[in-house]
Structure 1
Amino acid sequence: MNPSTSFARCESQSSDGLPDDWLFLSSESAGPQGQEVSRDDQEAEDRGKLKSKLVSAWNSVKYGWSLKQKSKFSKSSPVYMLGKSYELKDEREKEHFRRSFVSLLWLTYRRGFPLLAGCSLTTDSGWGCVLRTGQMLLAQGLILHLMPPGWTWSVSHHAVKDDMELLRPSDSTEYGSKLNERANTRGRKLSLGSLLDRPMEATHRSMISWFADHPSAPLGIHQLVELGQSSGKKAGDWYGPSIVAHILRKAVAASADLPSLVVYVAQDCTIYLKDVRRLCERPSPQPWKSVIILVPVRLGGHDLNPSYISCVKRLLMLQCCIGIIGGKPKHSLFFVGFQDDHLLYLDPHYCQPTVDTTKKNFPLESFHCKYPRKMSFSRMDPSCTIGFYAKGQREFESLCTAVNEALTTSAGTYPMFIFSEGERQEEVPGSSTTTNNITYIRRKNELKRVDTNNSMDEFVLL
């Protein structure tokens, strides 16, 4: 999506909930220093920077200026988030949910970063939301890959305010009034668990630095844009969830920091088990690499097929699930859980200044969201990519069993995606399977013809 003609939402707000003044966008040049530039080239570069700032400013005017909304959560039903459930009527579980949510990495629009290759853009405001949600999906996989089970950000309980609004069961339909009394102010002494978490803080910071807005960051916006060029994409374009899945695969494969991790992207709504095993197998002493599996799907036409909602819920209840990127049309969100008929998500449409992660003890607050937000399933765009993580071979086999069971909830319709024991067959140019945009999905020895001509993205239409 070209930022000069189309715009996505940018919630330019400061960390304390007040609107951020877009007139203070960074004007620092991030171009090469010490090189002579002609007057015409300099004027063109200045015009490009001004255009980029005006686009970001227009996004703020058109879609911003609203205060952060507090989500309303019912005490009468549990919240499910990435394989765990939380009973909010219990104060300890409520606190556990808050800490777990704040510990998720939140990667949003940024402004004032070094120039993207081949253009004068210094912000991804208005076009980079799918890349950002893709980063968050990958980041959740890295948390499971690098951090101990149940890890939470050790300082999150100091920084988090009581920003969830709980509802009495009798008031849940109208979203009710606030509780009469808030919980007592939490103590500021580090718990024993927090002290034990301190050695993981270096890993936490390293992981964030991999997503930095700098050309040298292996998983940063500059690297993702560069890898997207092979798919015909450039900075300022619209990136679909499927293309972003392939970009993430290439980024992890090219990163020297993640030698024991691979990314597999499902093709034709099918996870080919032989291909996954071939990708993960390696010589001793560790004969199996960890794997992130990304499955691009399209769950209906212009609206989410209602029969798939229960299946989406079942998948988000699995511990191997690392989230779903999708959202509203051309407005990507990162879904991590649900309560009743509402999805829980992190929103990348919040334009923040770039953080220099090369500085010692750089601030972490802007990479962690304090505000859980919810959205009705009915508003979810059917184009999405679902992510899973398996640490080893045994976990991968368990993943296959658990996901297969969850997929059976879409009875009466074709499954969201399937597993196949074989390997993907390379398409033969001129064959009947590569013409007329027809994709074939096999289920229980039945061949189903699916027309994808009307698909808005590069997805198989179920």
Structure 2
Amino acid sequence: MDPTTSSTYVYGRSAANDHLEDWDLLPSVSAGSLSQEVCSEDQGTEEKSKFKSRLVSAWNSVKYGWSLKQKSKFNKSSPLFMLGKTYNLKDDGDKERFRRSFASFLWLTYRRGFPQLPGSSLTTDSGWGCVLRTGQMLLAQGLLIHLMPPGWTWSLRYCAVKDDLDLLQPADSAECEWMAEEGRNRRGRKLSVGSLLDRPTEGTHRRVVSWFADHPAAPFGIHNLVELGKSSGKKAGDWYGPSIVAHILKKAVMSSVDLPNLVVYVAQDCTVYLQDVRRLCERPHPHGWKSVIVLVPVRLGGQELNPSYIACVKKLLMLQSCIGIIGGKPKHSLFFVGFQDDHLLYLDPHYCQPTVNIRKDNFALESFHCKYPRKMAISRMDPSCTIGFYAEGQNEFECMCAVVNEAVSTSAETYPMFIFSEEKRRDVEEESIPRTNSITYIQRNNELNDEDSNSVDEFVLI
């Protein structure tokens, strides 16, 4: 979906009395000048490819991220839900907490000027990499929950503007103001960048950002994701579906040496096979279970979202175990993190920004965080999407299964979005795994496909 065409955007109009003040939705970086690339000795086809890449990047910057003033309005009278939390925008404290929480998501967008992608001369993913970017954001949210303390938010400082809720700036300069953790007490203390980086949470935050860098060495960067996508018949410049991206993320985490205590499970045929998840998570005593990110690719209707599933989508975004949904419109993927009334909140990857050199000391973090929430009508959501969940341990996993199963179990005339089964996939080797819970799950038997086949982006229509 091209967000600029959505009816939920208002251009240059003042807010009505029953709406929250307008929050301008400007891209963090203007799509003006393109960075110069060093030409190789071969001045033939490679130079033409680079020139074409720059043109494509410029065009997509105009199409998705030029500095067109856009505004999104939020109803003060309705609660806002975002990944298990509820915000009352009439309350200044809740409004502040919402802005801080939203700005804490990692915002991963199109980039330009990075090293050439494997098997191509492309130095940008502008125009084709949006699903990979939303997949990165989904994984990044799971990693932040996995590695950061509960309730963590990115440190922010207030700008000296007439309304300090109009804009929040990152605490990323040589002199920054550390906000009080809670409440409206805004008395801060000065910290240098060095002392800020000494804080364990900020060091971990930067480390997570570096894992998604646009560099071949980054475990979850676009270079590695493109390389892992080759086994599914994809290459740089192709469009990646949300299901294929789920499998790519699973492979990326599996091959990473930085996350030995985390696994990713991808549901098959809209079914979460519980024995398979337990087999992945179990470890010898005394360490207990590994944490798990569960990714569920689904197709919720034909060409349009089945209206009966709209309530289910909302229920899932109200769960603390949910880490977001990637979807949007065909070839225009968005990262959904919440909703208000009948509109979804999302982060948009369609801004082409210059590549950040994360090897530089104290590299800037501004372009990795979005300060302006955006929304779209939930009825415009494409039925093809991937839903993510996170569970820290065994007890959390069993509780997650219970609450998610309740959320997706709709009325008798509508089939659930996806199901949980105590069985294991037929192509998984038989092994004895005890059933540790007494939850009753919906079960179904159908033909199963190999998860690493080229058909992983095909969905079961429900």
Structure 1 residue 44: Cα displacement = 1.8
1:302/1:280 Cα in 2 relative to 1: closer, same or farther (>3 Å)?
same
1:65 and 2:66 are equivalent in the alignment: yes
Distance 2:109 2:280 in 1: 31
1:54/1:195 Cα in 2 relative to 1: closer, same or farther (>3 Å)?
closer
Q: Say whether the 8 Å CA contact 1:9–1:64 is kept in structure 2.
A: no
Of the candidates 165, 185, 208, which is equivalent to residue 162 of structure 1? 165
1:276/1:445 Cα in 2 relative to 1: closer, same or farther (>3 Å)?
closer
Distance 1:196 1:152 in 2: 15
Q: Which residue of 2 aligns with 1:343?
A: 344
In the superposition, the TM-score normalised over structure 2's length comes to: 0.81
1:53 and 2:54 are equivalent in the alignment: yes
Q: Which residue of 2 aligns with 1:387?
A: 388
In the superposition, the TM-score normalised over structure 1's length comes to: 0.81
1:276 and 2:285 are equivalent in the alignment: no
Distance 1:8 1:315 in 2: 25
Q: Say whether the 8 Å CA contact 1:154–1:198 is kept in structure 2.
A: no
Q: Which residue of 2 aligns with 1:168?
A: none
Structure 1 residue 456: Cα displacement = 12
Q: Which residue of 1 aligns with 2:170?
A: none
SS at 1:409's partner residue? Answer: coil
Mark the runs of 5 or more structure 1 residues left unpaired by the alignment: 1-6, 32-36, 165-184, 428-442
Q: Say whether the 8 Å CA contact 2:104–2:369 is kept in structure 1.
A: yes
Distance 1:9 1:50 in 2: 27
Distance 1:290 1:447 in 2: 28
Q: Which residue of 2 aligns with 1:20?
A: 30
Structure 1 residue 60: Cα displacement = 2.9
Distance 1:239 1:151 in 2: 32
Distance 1:56 1:122 in 2: 9
Q: Which residue of 2 aligns with 1:136?
A: 137
1:448/1:218 Cα in 2 relative to 1: closer, same or farther (>3 Å)?
closer
Distance 1:71 1:257 in 2: 38
Q: Which residue of 2 aligns with 1:359?
A: 360
Structure 1 residue 67: Cα displacement = 2.2
Q: Which residue of 2 aligns with 1:232?
A: 233
Q: Which residue of 2 aligns with 1:305?
A: 306
Distance 1:276 1:151 in 2: 27
Q: Say whether the 8 Å CA contact 1:10–1:351 is kept in structure 2.
A: no
Structure 1 residue 63: Cα displacement = 4.4
SS at 1:115's partner residue? Answer: coil
RMSD of equivalent CA atoms: 3.1
Alignment of 1:171-320 (within 5 A): 187=186, 189-190=188-189, 198-320=199-321
**Identity over the aligned pairs, expressed in percent?**
72
Structure 1 residue 189: Cα displacement = 1.8
SS at 1:124's partner residue? Answer: coil
SS at 2:325's partner residue? Answer: strand
Distance 1:25 1:42 in 2: 20
Distance 1:8 1:45 in 2: 31
Q: Say whether the 8 Å CA contact 2:337–2:345 is kept in structure 1.
A: yes
Structure 1 residue 118: Cα displacement = 1.0
1:259/1:30 Cα in 2 relative to 1: closer, same or farther (>3 Å)?
farther
1:461 and 2:461 are equivalent in the alignment: yes
Distance 2:409 2:158 in 1: 39
Q: Say whether the 8 Å CA contact 1:291–1:389 is kept in structure 2.
A: yes
> How big is each residue's C-alpha offset from its partner over 1:236-268, in whole Å with a ceiling of 9 and x where there is no partner?
001000000000000000111111000000001
Q: Say whether the 8 Å CA contact 1:83–1:317 is kept in structure 2.
A: yes
Alignment of 1:403-422 (within 5 A): 403-422=404-423
Distance 1:368 1:310 in 2: 29
Mark the runs of 5 or more structure 2 residues left unpaired by the alignment: 6-23, 168-183, 429-440, 449-454
Q: Which residue of 2 aligns with 1:434?
A: none
- Tell me which amino acid in the other structure corresponds to 2:221: G
> How big is each residue's C-alpha offset from its partner over 1:114-140, in whole Å with a ceiling of 9 and x where there is no partner?
111111100000000000000000000
Q: Which residue of 2 aligns with 1:34?
A: none
- Tell me which amino acid in the other structure corresponds to 1:26: S
SS at 1:88's partner residue? Answer: coil
Distance 2:117 2:108 in 1: 18
Distance 1:137 1:104 in 2: 10
Structure 1 residue 62: Cα displacement = 4.0
- Tell me which amino acid in the other structure corresponds to 1:220: G
> Which 4+ stretches in 1 moved above 6 angstroms?
7-11, 194-197, 445-450
> How big is each residue's C-alpha offset from its partner over 1:139-173, in whole Å with a ceiling of 9 and x where there is no partner?
00001100011000112556996349xxxxxxxxx
Q: Say whether the 8 Å CA contact 2:312–2:408 is kept in structure 1.
A: yes
Structure 1 residue 45: Cα displacement = 1.5
Q: Say whether the 8 Å CA contact 1:80–1:86 is kept in structure 2.
A: yes
Distance 1:327 1:239 in 2: 13
Structure 1 residue 190: Cα displacement = 4.5
SS at 1:20's partner residue? Answer: coil
- Tell me which amino acid in the other structure corresponds to 2:38: S
Distance 1:335 1:255 in 2: 26
Distance 2:366 2:407 in 1: 35
SS at 1:122's partner residue? Answer: coil
Instruction: Considering fraction of residues, name the structure with more helix.
Output: 1
- Tell me which amino acid in the other structure corresponds to 1:60: S
Structure 1 residue 329: Cα displacement = 1.8
Q: Which residue of 2 aligns with 1:146?
A: 147
Distance 1:332 1:100 in 2: 22
- Tell me which amino acid in the other structure corresponds to 1:25: L
1:45/1:404 Cα in 2 relative to 1: closer, same or farther (>3 Å)?
same
